[in-house]
Chain A
Amino acid sequence: MKEMIIILMSAILVNNFVLVKFLGICPFLGVSKKLDSAIGMSAAVIFVMVLATAVTYPIMSLLIHLNIDYLQTIVFILVIAALVQLVEIAMKRYVPALHKSLGVYLPLITTNCAVLGVCILNIDESYTYAQSLINSFGAGLGFMLAMVLFSGVRLRIENNDFPIAFKGIPSILIAASIVSLSFMGFSGVIDGLFGQ
């Protein structure tokens, strides 16, 4: 149990996917303008991350069993893409309300590096199935935390008077740098809490 909490906490805070590992920067910078879309996007990311891990983990065991684990990259990206399309179609047909708030973001994250990244990372770290699911969930939550925090920051800086050269994207990047700086404060928190 303690181990699970450590994995979850370090995925959310210490190894934050966006701000420390630089995975999923495009949606982080692109969809963080409004809080609503930031939450919708990150909910979709959490959902897809956990789902993709749940499916790719057994597939990896199969690949290793058949001795073709070098096909990992190709198989993973195709499985994730097909899976997300299927879920989107099913959601559109059976739960249209959910599709409206969350489903529209699904096609966007089929080829997102955060989703493929978390699946490969789980294999590389040789986590068990349960640990992989927890790690993916934590990574998704960390993504949501970063998105929500950053959309608040962007709201504050939106109408500020920057030098002309810094208007727009540079100012967003500098703001992201400061948010990322604040996340560095978490770097020793797991060791401090759980005494490793």
Chain B
Amino acid sequence: MNKLSLLKNGIIKENPVLILLLGTCPTLAVTTTAINGLGMGVSTMAVLICSNIVIAMLKNVIPDKVRIPCYIVVIAGFVTVVGFLLQAYAPAVNDALGLFIPLIVVNCIILGRAEMFASKNKVSDAAFDGIGMGLGFTLALFLMGSIREILGSGGWMNFNITADYIDPVAIFMLAPGAFFTFGCLVALINYLSKGKAIKKKEMGCEGCPSAVSCQLAGKGGCES
């Protein structure tokens, strides 16, 4: 597949957060400020690219029956590495993201790409898919973080934007603001694409990290 179209696919057509609606937990939790969203996005992207490359390299070695645990070990290894790098070189980001750094392991985007893409494609394609998806995730988190920071604190990346003439709406920095901002963004995409961009009409099995191994996923999901 064309490398450029792989990148575009991850960033726009199949943006993991805004179109596929995956990885909702970090999207909602860490986007209190733009810089936190960026930090989370870059950390996840690093793990995603590395795990995609390694899994694509090992695709003929990993036995089919135990592939999910194998993927998880690879992913968890890279998450540990990224955690150490953040502790050493970006302690402020590390403190702000806290618990959500080890929880990159259970981010469904990474496991989903391993199962759906990396295990079936060439190493180079898997790497570009990781870059595309990672950039899409980073940009979406950065956007969410920017909206919440500007509305919630009146500033953006340490610049003062609207704080002088509009009172900041602090609720946007808190938990309800996260759900609200995300809901409005999804609605905006629905509106702009006339409901065509987002295929999912329910938060179903695709959003679940266990979907790849779950027996219910093929049969209408957990509700049935």
Contacts and interface: CB of A to CB of B under 8 A. Distances in A.
Interface string B202-224: 11110111100111100001110
B222 A41 contact: yes
Contacts of B221: 30
A111 B168 CA distance: 37
A113 B210 CA distance: 11
Contact of B201 (A109, A117, A168): A168
B89 to A, nearest CB: 17
Interface stretch (B2-10, B128-136, B140-148, B187-195): B187-195
Contacts of A164: 190-191, 195
B178 A22 contact: yes
B198 interface: yes
- The binding surface of chain B is classed by DSSP as helix
Given A19-B175, A25-B24, A116-B106, A177 B207 contact: no
Contacts of A12: none
A30 B205 contact: yes
Interface in A21-38: 21-27, 29-31, 33-34, 37
Interface stretch (A51-59, A100-108, A131-139): A100-108
Contact of A22 (B28, B76, B184): B28
A116 B79 CA distance: 14
B208 A108 contact: yes
Contacts of B79: 73
Contacts of A174: 179-180, 183-184
A94 interface: no
B157 interface: no
A7 B100 CA distance: 21
A107 B213 contact: yes
Contacts of B21: 169
B105 A124 contact: no
A181 B207 CA distance: 24
Given A121-B99, A169-B201, A174-B183, A78 B178 contact: no
A73 B105 contact: yes
Interface in A53-84: 70-74, 77-78, 81
A169 B222 contact: no
B180 A177 contact: yes
Contact of B72 (A21, A81, A120): A81
Contact of B24 (A19, A29, A166): A29
Nearest to B182: A173
A30 B72 contact: no
Contacts of A71: 80
A177 B222 contact: no
B136 to A, nearest CB: 18
Contacts of A20: 175
Contacts of B25: 22-26, 113
B63 interface: no
Given A26-B24, A172-B183, 9 more contacts: A20-B175, A21-B29, A22-B29, A30-B202, A30-B207, A104-B215, A111-B209, A116-B105, A174-B184
Interface of B: 21, 24-25, 28-29, 69, 72-73, 76-77, 79-80, 83-84, 98-99, 102-103, 105-108, 111, 171, 174-180, 182-184, 186-188, 190-191, 195, 198, 200-205, 207-210, 213-216, 221-223
Q: Which 9 pairs across A and B sit closest by C-beta, in order of nearness? A: A173-B183, A177-B179, A22-B29, A170-B187, A29-B203, A165-B191, A74-B76, A177-B180, A181-B176
